[in-house]
Amino acid sequence: MKSFSTILICAWLSSVAPPALAGGLYVSEFATPSMGTAGAGATALGADASTSFHNPAAMTRLDSHQLNIGLAPAVSIVKFDKASTTPVSGGNGGDQGGFIPLLGSSYVHKISDRTRFGLAMFSISGAALDPNDDWAGRNQVTELSLFTLTFVPSLAFRVTDWLSVGGGPTITYGNLNWKLKAPLPGGGEGTLKFDDLDDWAVAGQVGVLLTPMKKLRIGIVYQSETKLKLTGDTDLPGTLPALNTKLELPLAQAVRFDVFWQATDNLALLFGAAWENWDTADTVPITLGVGKASLPLGMKDTFKIRGGVHYQLNETWMLQTGLSYDSSALDTSDRIAALPIDEQWRFGLGAVHDWSETTRIGLAFEYLNLGKGRIDNATLEGKFEQNHIFFFMVNLNFAKLPWDGKLSF
């Protein structure tokens, strides 16, 4: 019975092409001040401790120990509009979104005039969907949550006045829960659930900061692929026994590039671009009990472009705004309801206030449009008529900490 159920579920999953369970693309929201420019300039800025995550090489710009803490609660609105020709009966699923908590923190320690140590903690990828159980896309998702937490220890060294390098490991924990309705051999449907699949994985990142002129900075970061091998149990429909499961989930290698140019005393221009190698998740291996399958996802590489502006209003207030675009990692024929992501547009608006000599406050609003996400596959046809996330960010950066100057030389 166990061998038969393994073959049955592997074959069914392969036929519907399951989702890229990490949400398909890296998130760009880390509860840092860069949300005010939709991420533009993040790897070249080096203005506070959050650079230990964005680009560790830029930590050499900080003259003291610094601590950065951010909170960015978000509200998502995800509503599907099924086509009249959709193969499976059911509703539109209601609002599948909800509240999303985002937290991030980072620390930079000045070891010497040329050397810095950093430690950051963020979530680099995630997903959360909760449609109605009887909707037309129930054979693809009725509940989905993916949580990741990444720790980034790093070192940076200023080689010359115009060149700094930095890097370190990225240590990521991932946890997946995914429920959907699966047709039963004798008719009807049962619940298929991937229950608490999790893993730890280690990758790495390397950054460079170039300062060819006093008012011009260029940041370049390479992030290697994170190979999560999520393991846990799969609860099968009906009375079938649960199966030990391993899902190999790659999070893409990426290259990010940003430019910061202080055009005038009050005005700075920021530009960025990125490439992410999601083709590595075109198919992913899954093992259910003794059965193995390669699940076709149809993922493809993506690129990003982004631009932003800083305007120094006065001695204590700096205003910022920015816009970014991400290409789609999926074609219409490959997309399913568990991955409602298409071309993405981000708009950021924010301000940074020097509250005191030691405390800086960042405020930002970001709007994320995840696109129409058209779906045309064997069990579902339609598009997402609403597919938005609204972020509200508050960030605190503390400099000249009580232990400033200690443990350095």
Considering only CA atoms, which of 30, 36, 71, 29 is closest in space to residue 395?
Answer: 71
Residue 405 lies in a domain: no
Residue 8 has pLDDT above 50, yes or no: no
Residue 384 lies in a domain: yes
First-residue to last-residue Cα distance in the chain: 67
Q: Please return the burial class of 269, using the count of CB atoms within 10 Å of its CB with bins 0-12, 13-18 and 19+.
A: middle
Spell out the residues 6+ positions from residue 30 whose beta carbon is closer than 8 angstroms to its own. 50, 53, 54, 70, 72, 102, 104, 122, 123
Average pLDDT over residues 262-280: 96
What pLDDT, on the 0 to 100 scale, is given for residue 25?
Answer: 55
What pLDDT, on the 0 to 100 scale, is given for residue 59?
Answer: 98
Q: Report how far residue 155's alpha carbon sits from residue 59's, in angstroms, rounded to the nearest whole number.
A: 9
How far, CA to CA in Å, does 380 sit from each of 13, 92, 392? 15, 11, 33
What pLDDT, on the 0 to 100 scale, is given for residue 24?
Answer: 43
Spell out the residues 6+ positions from residue 393 whose beta carbon is closer than 8 angstroms to its own. 29, 31, 32, 33, 35, 36, 70, 71, 72, 102, 350, 362, 363, 364, 365, 366
**Range with the poorest average pLDDT among 80-94, 130-144, 182-196, 210-224:** 182-196
Residue 404 lies in a domain: no
**Range with the poorest average pLDDT among 169-183, 195-209, 212-226:** 169-183
Residue 83, both tokens:
């086509």
Residue 26 has pLDDT above 60, yes or no: yes
Residue 171's pLDDT band, with cuts at 50, 70 and 90, is: very high
- Model's pTM, two decimal places? 0.89
Please name the amino acid found at residue 364: A
What pLDDT, on the 0 to 100 scale, is given for residue 125?
Answer: 65
Encode pLDDT of 284-300 as tens digits. Answer: 888 888 788 887 778 89
Residue length of the chain:
409
Q: Report how far residue 237's alpha carbon sits from residue 180's, in angstroms, rounded to the nearest whole number.
A: 10
What pLDDT, on the 0 to 100 scale, is given for residue 22?
Answer: 29
Please name the amino acid found at residue 328: S
What pLDDT, on the 0 to 100 scale, is given for residue 409?
Answer: 63
**Range with the poorest average pLDDT among 18-22, 176-180, 294-298, 359-363:** 18-22
Structurally, the chain folds into a number of domains equal to 1
Q: Report how far residue 69's alpha carbon sits from residue 324's, in angstroms, rounded to the nearest whole number.
A: 24
Residue 212 lies in a domain: yes
Average pLDDT over residues 6-26: 41
* 240 vs 226, more confident: 226
Spell out the residues 6+ positions from residue 409 whose beta carbon is closer than 8 angstroms to its own. 111, 112
Q: Which domain holds residue 263?
A: 2-399
- CATH at 50: 2.40.160.60
**Range with the poorest average pLDDT among 8-22, 131-145, 259-273, 307-321:** 8-22
Residue 19's pLDDT band, with cuts at 50, 70 and 90, is: very low
* 220 vs 285, more confident: 220
Residue 408 lies in a domain: no
Q: Report how far residue 381's alpha carbon sits from residue 134's, in angstroms, rounded to the nearest whole number.
A: 16
What pLDDT, on the 0 to 100 scale, is given for residue 13?
Answer: 46
Residue 208 has pLDDT above 60, yes or no: yes
Residue 317 lies in a domain: yes
Question: Is residue 363 within 8 Å of 348, Cβ to Cβ?
Answer: no
- Torsion angle in degrees (nearest 10) through CA of 397, 400, 405, 409: 50
